[in-house]
Amino acid sequence: QAQVKESGGGLVQPGGSLRLSCTGSGFAFDTYAVAWYRQAPGKEREGLNCITRNGDWTSNADSVRGRFIISRENANHLVYLQLNSLKPEDTATYYCANLDTDYCPSSWSRVGHYWGQGTQVTVYS
């Protein structure tokens, strides 16, 4: 059964950092591009970062560019999202999903294939 799973969320103060992890099983996770998204209560889902199959190119939303960094370790079947300089408005459930391509198409922020259950990030004062 194909699954994607996120981990690493938690409580953090403004200005703090977290590293989220995403792993896939039951399918060839390492052969696809992967993207991170988030959704806050009452808001639409937002695409954050996308990384190609071999990690040689990333796409980053304007809202998090320079603060959130996506990377991957295919040897360990992991994709990371490093969250830096966190703000209260970053509070949301964070999701990862593989795409059905090995690159990040222009529509990457709106599509995803297999989705995880999400991990909660709460930034509080």
pLDDT surpassing 90 at residue 4: yes
Q: Are 123 and 9 in contact (CB under 8 A)?
A: no
Percentage of the chain exceeding pLDDT 90: 91
Please measure the distance between the N-terminal and C-terminal CA atoms of the chain and give it in whole angstroms: 40
pLDDT of the residue at 125: 82
pLDDT tens profile 57-115: 999 999 999 999 999 999 999 999 999 999 999 999 999 999 999 999 988 888 888 99
pLDDT surpassing 90 at residue 30: yes
d(C-alpha 74, C-alpha 120), whole Å? 24
Any idea what DSSP says for residue 109? G
pLDDT of the residue at 80: 98
